[in-house]
Structure 1
Amino acid sequence: MNNRTGFVNIFIVAITAVVVVFIGGYFLVAPDETEKRQNKEPPQDMRVEKSQNNIVEKTDEKPDEKEAVIAKQTIVEEKKTIVAVEKKTTHEEKKETVIEKKTTHENTKPKEIIVQEQARPEPPPQIQPVQQIKSIPTPGYTELIAVANGVVASLSRDDVLQIVDVTDPLSPIKIQTIDTPAFAEAAFQKDGYVYIADSRELRILDSAEQTVGVYNLRNFWPSAISVDSGYVYLVAGNEILILDAKSPQNIKQVSKTYLTGRAPSHIVVKDSYAYIVETLGGLNIVDVRNPSSPKVVKVFPFESHTAGFGIEGNYAYVGRVASTKSTAQGYSQTSVFEVIDISNPVAATVISSVELPTDIRGLDLLGTHAYVIGSYPYRLTPIDISSPANPKIIQAGESIVGSADLQDIVVENGFAFLADGSTGLRIVDISNIASPRHVKDFDLGGRAFNIYKWGSKLYIAVEQKYFNLANVRDPGNPQHTYSEPFTASYKYTSLVLDAKNAYFNGGGVRVYDIANIQSPQKIKMAPAEIDSIQIQGNYLYSTIGEIGLLVYDIADLTSLVQISRTPFPMGIPRDLSVDGRWAVGISNSPYSITVFDISDPQKPIVRDSYTYQKYPGSVTVKNDHAYVARGEDGVDIFNIRPDGSLELIKNIAIERGFAHHVAMYGNKAFVVRDGADVYDMTNPAKPIFMQHISNKGEANRIAIDNNYMYIADGYAGVTIIKMPE
């Protein structure tokens, strides 16, 4: 009994000693919770993107996984503690980054591939919560914003449907405006119902224009619509959505199917086949005999920024831009008008074509003729299609008086009704096909871009734009002071404020003296070729798609003096950013960015270009770096070397949403993406994610001033957020 007791005592002592040693060892070597968070390194997905022989490592820095999670304020024994927990991982080992060493235009040596080491990033600082304090309502959907000296300027827009009675084409009457909850861009009429699709919902109206059915589209933003046998066919992006609307009060989704391409412009449903024009992809022919299981059976590939389409009998007619060439005057474009035999949709075949020296923007069919619209001097061109295998251009005289920005066309009863981006509705008498006659203009209060006709009524999609000002000297009590509607042919790209004036592009450059923000004064100016706008010193920099980079001396705003004009080495420019020595522009066809040295504004010099396979959204230049927002592909960061050559040094991947724009403030970058992701850019090659800032609406652009963030927040207007100290 005593021996057994002694053995038990010895065993207990031994076990106790082992436990003590184990626990003591743990406390001696185990890191605290903060250290464990910093040293933990989960596997990281390293991807390599190859584009145009350019290779760059992409590190999936996913803001949604790393963004700061701000704990709610809690009261513990009368002491408030705000805990900001950063879900941030770092790398224990150095990663190798493969970066292309690009060459300048002057250096034609073969491109080299070099290897750089990416050092382990420092842990992010603790982030305090941001405070969303106010919203400023604006008309429509707010897209651009600028702030300076206690003044916020914003540009917003809205799309509505104007209904015009053209029983007498020489005396049109506007009878109604349909303003839907979002952008109304597509409409269709069938069996006594009008179907209107906007960026939020499908709405069905009866013959009295009363709503009888609504379907939530859940961010499916259609740009074309057709209806057949009780089914509604909607196209957006690279998808077709089919809805069963036999009962307008009980609309149901039937199917959603991917297409080839994106940016759809037209859809026509005929004999259980849907014909869909994807301007960046081609004509898709879709078998919809079973609407719950549609199938793409044929694709005619092409890419064209504009297109026209129609079907008559067993033939489909497609008009599209085929080529763009740079000339001494700017650019020239050639379009092709094609006839496709669709008697057997699965084996559809192009049977004839004819070229036009213009950019075809739309077409309509009437009898044995197609009517094609484009740019000067071929703004309205009839084509004889009495023999589809042998279409013939009719050399008609110039029929449009004055400037025009034609977007769409409907022909009926001897008249052509034209949607004009600059003047609204234009009406042309085409009873004498060899000599069309411009007979009427009708102001619609905005930019007309789509037109439909049923009976004696035209349904015209009209874009209304607004220039807005607000007093934010006290950001906690902002005051909306001014809104002015205006018409502009193209989507505005720029809004700039300086100490005295607001500049934006709307039908050319518009400049307002904002000394009195209750009643700003528009400065009268001579017409000037202006698209995008950047201001630096006494110079205004702009891009024009047909010309290139233009620089104006703005010492006297009433008389802008163009001091230089420099073509882009590739593509059609559409946007621009300027800082210090550098101007960086974005182009289409091909997608690219180009660097100009503007040390001498009178003699800008092209230094380098970088091409993309996909559409780059916007560019921001700051401190010898260019930040390119690329939508779902995140943000590319380029170093602009002293000789102007571009070096891609980093891609910031986006886990969810789209990178719309990058705003720089001090050493921080704000990536606009469903709010804003904030990065420390002390070293642009090694950006450190800091936090995500949420917003109320749909963030498009941001501006920052005196520690306040101002968001162009879609239908939420302007959202104001106080930044952490």
Structure 2
Amino acid sequence: MKVNPLLFLWALPALLLTSCTDKCEETRTVKRFVPITLTLRQVREGVRVEEARTLQKPGKIYTKDGYLFINEVKEGIHLIDNRNPESPRQIAFLRIPGNGDMAVRNNILYADSYMDLVAFDISDPAQPREVSRVESVFTNGQFEGGSWVVNTQNVSLSDQRVEYVTETVKTDCDAVGQWSSCPNCVFFDGFANAGSLSSPAPNTNGTSGSMARFALYDNFLYTVSQSDLQLFDIQNAAKPAAHNRINLGWGIETIFPYKDKLFIGSQTGMHIYDNANPANPTRLSTFEHARVCDPVVVNDNIAYVTLRNGTQCGGFTNQLDVIDISSLTNPRLLKSYPMQNPHGLGVDFPNLFICEGANGLKTFNAQSATDIKQLKHLTDMNAYDVIPLQKTLLMIGRDGLYQFDYTNPSQLRQLSKIAVKRPY
């Protein structure tokens, strides 16, 4: 039978229309940003000590003299007695509006509170006491992919409250699994360093994870924003004073001090700064890469950099780059190793630990930079950042703080866990 070609062409649009109007249902979890406005007075009067509380949205981790400091994203800091890693004891919660980072020198805790840097005396860790504040030194920042900014009148700031919403929506069948229109939404892909603090040794610093934006060196506290390195003179530890500000370029994420150098991770590369003059670090070189998120740690003449994609990071790369920095002015890639979605990392040579986000935690033997061998992969956790510390590994993730004995890195032994109230 012959088919009239004109009749076929007439019927084709109807067939296409029918296929395009088929509807399917898709259930998804989205991260929604709800605008809020806070006065600067509200922020500054919001600091207070509260009873210990459960973790809800843990972020950065820090440790000093057997105590842990865990950031509760944008809300404050959990103070935890960890002198017995098998039985950590939560002792207080320090509410700090807009907090994301911290550092500790001697008995002074430095923390950001949106636009301000605040110093606390933690001689008694259960009763932190605000001792000074550098006001309006930060003008903007970012939490969980949402940004905040101080308004031009300098009396209020605009921020965003994050809500995680699970919803079922109608979609075109052909579009299921693809991103579809959702104003103000971002699809959730996981994550957007024994003793007593009462008698610290002179000029002792704590230890941070690889995701840190705060670092201590000599008489200075260094903080990085998305584009600047802000220095604070802490010769008088209890009274930090704003010092030099250095433009670093776009997409700055992390800072890692090593000897008299600063290694700064950005979305476009690893920057190396000479810190011989701590009051004025100078750029030596940049190791460039495609746009991705990029924390870095260093051991001897080797830098380890994890590159990952995601909603906030862009790009399509998930790998570990091992970089020869024996020539600080000419860093050279030795080898790249494929990863799943690497986040924070830590090195206690030859042990290397890499957080794979929703894909768990991995341990490696990094004795040979060009032949790094995987030893262990724990998959039943969401890993964000780590601190290797005297055979005890601290790991923070979406579902809480884990501690492992890594005497045998091929067989991590879990010592304890502080669980979140509700994973998000």
Give the TM-score band, short-chain normalised.
0.5 to 0.7
Aligned residue type for 1:427: Q
Deviation at 1:299, TM superposition (A): 1.5
Task: Say yes or no: does 1:418 pair with 2:395.
Answer: yes
Query: Structure 2: which 5+ residue stretches go unaligned?
Result: 1-15, 17-41, 47-72, 142-211
2:249 match: secondary structure: coil
**Offset at 1:418?**
1.7
CA distance in structure 1 between the aligned counterparts of 2:392 and 2:243, rounded to whole angstroms: 39
Change (3 A) 1:251 1:193: closer
Q: Could you tell me the percent identity over the aligned residues?
A: 16
Q: Write out aligned runs for 1:122-521 (5 A).
A: 158-180=74-96, 182-208=97-123, 209-221=128-140, 224-264=213-253, 266-278=254-266, 280-291=267-278, 293-303=280-290, 306-321=293-308, 335-356=318-339, 358-375=340-357, 377=359, 379-388=360-369, 390-396=370-376, 398-401=377-380, 404-421=381-398, 423-445=399-421, 487=422, 489=424
Q: Deviations over 1:64-89 (max 9, x none)?
A: xxxxxxxxxxxxxxxxxxxxxxxxxx
Residue identity opposite 1:431 in structure 2: T
Counterpart Cα distance in 2 of 1:281 and 1:334:
12
SS in 1 for 2:354: strand
Query: What amino acid sits opposite 1:247 in the alignment?
Result: N
Tell me the TM-score normalized by structure 2.
0.58
Partner SS for 2:90: strand
Give the conservation status (yes or no) of the 8 Å contact 2:325–2:331: yes
Distance in 1 between residues matched to 2:265 and 2:119, nearest whole Å: 24
TM-score normalised by L of structure 1: 0.35
Q: What is the one-letter code of the residue matched to 1:385?
A: A
Quickly say closer, same or farther: Cα 1:250–1:163, change in 2 above 3 A.
Answer: closer
Q: CA deviation at 1:290?
A: 3.7
Partners of 1:268 and 1:306 lie apart in 2 by 15
Q: Distance in 2 between matches of 1:221 and 1:163?
A: 26
- CA separation of 1:249/1:301 partners in 2, compared to 1, >3 Å: closer, same or farther? same
The CA distance in 2 between the partners of 1:354 and 1:243, in whole Å, is 37
Distance across 2 between alignment mates of 1:215 and 1:206: 15
Deviation at 1:275, TM superposition (A): 1.1
Aligned partner of residue 264 in structure 2, secondary structure: strand
Q: Is the 8 A contact 1:323 1:335 kept in 2?
A: no
* CA positional deviation for 1:249: 5.0
Contact 1:384 1:394 in 2 (8 A): yes
Stretches of structure 1 that go unaligned for 5 or more consecutive residues are: 1-105, 107-136, 141-156, 325-331, 446-486, 490-725
Give distance in 2, aligned partners of 1:339 and 1:184.
32
Offset, 1:217:
4.0
Q: 1:158 to 1:344 in 2, by over 3 A?
A: same
Displaced runs of 4 or more, over 6 A = 137-140
Q: Based on CA coordinates, which of the two structures has the bigger radius of gyration?
A: 1
TM superposition shift of 1:201: 1.9
**C-alpha distance in structure 2 between counterparts of 1:391 and 1:163, whole Å:** 40
Deviation of residue 171 (structure 1)? 1.4
Please give the alpha-carbon distance, in whole angstroms, between the structure 2 residues aligned to 1:322 and 1:443: 27
How far residue 292 of structure 1 moved from its aligned partner, in angstroms, is 5.1
Shift of 1:175: 1.6
Match of residue 37 from structure 1: none
* In 2, Cα distance between equivalents of 1:169 and 1:271: 28
Offset of 1:244 from its aligned partner? Answer: 1.4
2:418 is matched by which residue type in structure 1?
F
**Aligned partner of residue 271 in structure 2, secondary structure:** strand
Cα deviation, residue 210, structure 1:
3.7
Kept after mapping to 1: 8 A contact 2:386/2:396: yes
CA distance in 2, matches of 1:298, 1:385: 25
3-state DSSP of counterpart to 1:361? coil
CA–CA distance in 2 between the matches of 1:391 and 1:203? 44
Output one character per residue of 1:274-300: Cα deviation in whole Å (capped at 9) or x when no partner.
21111x222112234345544333122
2:85 alignment partner, SS class: coil
Give, in angstroms, the shift of residue 323 of structure 1: 9.5
* Distance change >3 Å, CA 249–CA 167, structure 1 → 2: closer
Distance 2:327 2:412 in 1: 36
- For residues 227 and 251 of structure 1, what CA distance do their matches in structure 2 show? 12
Shift in alpha-carbon separation, 1:271–1:418, aligned structure 2, 3 A: closer
Aligned CA distance change for structure 1 residues 391 and 173 (closer, same or farther; 3 Å): farther
Q: What root-mean-square deviation, in Å, do the aligned CA atoms of Structure 1 and Structure 2 show?
A: 3.4
Q: Distance in 1 between matches of 2:120 and 2:304?
A: 30
Aligned counterparts of 2:239 and 2:408: Cα–Cα separation in 1? 48
Tell me if structure 1 keeps the 8 A contact 2:365–2:375. no
Judge conservation of contact 1:212–1:248 (CA < 8 Å) in 2.
no
- Residues 619-666 of structure 1: per-residue CA shift (max 9 Å, x gap): xxxxxxxxxxxxxxxxxxxxxxxxxxxxxxxxxxxxxxxxxxxxxxxx
Task: Give the 3 Å change call, closer, same or farther, for CA 233–220 of structure 1 in structure 2.
Answer: farther
- Deviation (angstroms), 1:351: 2.8
State the 1:366 CA deviation.
1.6
* Residue aligned with 1:347, SS: coil
The structure-2 alpha-carbon separation of the partners of 1:256 and 1:381, relative to structure 1 and needing over 3 Å to count, comes to same
Aligned counterparts of 2:238 and 2:411: Cα–Cα separation in 1: 49
Report Cα offsets for 1:206-234 as digits up to 9, x if no partner: 45144443212433456611111111111
Number of aligned positions between the proteins = 282
